[in-house]
Chains A and B, each alone.
Chain A
Amino acid sequence: MEILSPIILLAVIGLIAGIGLSLASKFMAVPVDEKQEKVRECLPGANCGACGYSGCDGYAAAVAAGEAEPNKCAPGGASTAKALADLLGVAVEAEPKVAFVGCNGTPECTKQRFEYQGMQSCAAANLVHGGPNACSFGCLGFGDCFRACPFDAIRMENGRPVICVDQCVGCGKCAETCPKSLISLIPQTAKVRVGCSNKQRGPAVVKACSVSCIACMQCEKNCPSGAVKVIDNVAVIDYNLCTGCGKCAEVCKRKVFC
């Protein structure tokens, strides 16, 4: 019978704690928005922050409160946007986006101004006179974006990042990381892209890189739908207008389009 009293003691303590907690949770309950919980269930839970909120919970709260659009979730993509739209009873158009590096300049195309021996990261190299490349706008190739990608969608080839479109969810982590701001999010369906971000003009650009945009305006003049505009001496495509005819890529002598 000696074993009985410690068992009873333990059971009583457990019981008191249990009753206390259940009472506490009942009397101190905080009403949680039912809609918010349902929204949260639709989200993938990657907590990547691509939506601009602190995490999936933060985004769910904002969506439930009607402060955020339901198509902000990049990893969830179209299916999540649709699920959220159904839940909220609103129409939504979500086009999947992927990252794109706006620089075609491989190490063969651009010269080196000096030999860089510092820390092997784009951010560090960028601090030393904008990096060793002759083109001060172009990709530095130390792979900061490659390391930033949470989905293994970027691989380094020939010292340049290559984005695997199938794996990219368009979270934009790489775009935030790139010290040259070369990476942008473009529609997955985009057929023509601009592989240069050099905002200088003419001879200076030719000297810097062999595949650079010199702002000759040929693409802008020849685009049948008016989608290509040369802004700040570099071609920019408006994907709302672009039909993907490829005319701009045909007329470009500098092979900027890809």
Chain B
Amino acid sequence: MNNSTAIASILLAGILTNNMVLSKFLGICPFLGVSKKVNTAFSMSIAVTLVMVVASAVTWPIYHYLLMPNYTYLETIVFILVIAAIVQFIEIFLKRFIKPVYNALGIYLPLITTNCAVLGITQINTANQLDFVRSMINALGAGLGFMLAMLLFSGVRERLETANIPEFLKGLPITLISAALVSLSFLGFAGIGG
């Protein structure tokens, strides 16, 4: 397998096969919380993708040059620390220099500070021993996969608003049921791209 096909397969696997939300069940909180409208879901996914890529770029050298080979057990706690700091820094940076982006991302950026999908992707990178470029591609794929799941599901939820749902299933129950069905449909991708 040459380089570009490998990269394409990592990207595709991140979006479809190993979808962050629908296959790995990480980042369920924003998936259920911010998916009521397509626009907000889109803003949230952009923020998640951005933070995933930046977090992967920063945690990779930390893991490979600081924690390897003796302190790999510190991975989780160090990553949490670093990701929280990065998100805060990105927020300050955007507020100062790119105000429109800051306004567009709004509340979603600080919300991601403690998002398990972001921590998850950095740990998946180290667990799979990906090199730097592949880590970035993997993070980008996972972010796009998150976006795909969010957009699909917010579409479903906008339909649910007008659907005639039995009284006892209204609200969260029907949301969880439809999330399960969407997740089930992604099971069909298993085996593609490896």
Residues of A within 8 A of B (CB): 5-6, 9-10, 13-14, 17-18, 20-21, 24-25, 28-30, 119-121
Contact = CB atoms under 8 A, between A and B. Distances in A.
A128 to B, nearest CB: 15
A5 B66 CA distance: 12
B85 A9 contact: no
Q: Is the interface of A mostly helix, strand, loop or mixed?
A: helix
A72 to B, nearest CB: 21
Contact of A24 (B66, B81, B82, B92): B92
A30 B93 contact: no
Nearest to A121: B162
Contacts of A14: 81
B127 interface: no
Nearest to B94: A28
B96 A6 contact: no
Contacts of A5: 70-71
A207 B97 CA distance: 66
A24 B89 contact: yes
Contacts, number: 44
B81 A17 contact: yes
Contacts of A21: 85, 88-89, 92
A5 B70 CA distance: 10
Interface in B76-127: 77-78, 81-82, 84-85, 88-89, 92-93, 95-97
B82 A17 contact: yes
Interface residues of B, number: 20
A17 B162 CA distance: 47
Given A20-B85, A119-B162, A13 B78 contact: yes
Interface in B110-164: 162, 164
For the complex of A and B, the 3 pairs showing the least CB-CB separation, nearest first, are: A17-B85, A28-B96, A24-B92
B123 to A, nearest CB: 17
B74 interface: yes
Contacts of B71: 5-6, 9
A18 B78 CA distance: 13
A234 to B, nearest CB: 32
A13 B92 contact: no
Contact of B96 (A18, A30, A119): A30
Contact of B74 (A6, A17, A20, A25): A6
Given A6-B71, A30-B96, 12 more contacts: A6-B74, A10-B74, A10-B81, A13-B66, A14-B81, A17-B81, A17-B85, A21-B92, A24-B89, A24-B92, A24-B93, A119-B162
Contacts of B85: 17-18, 20-21
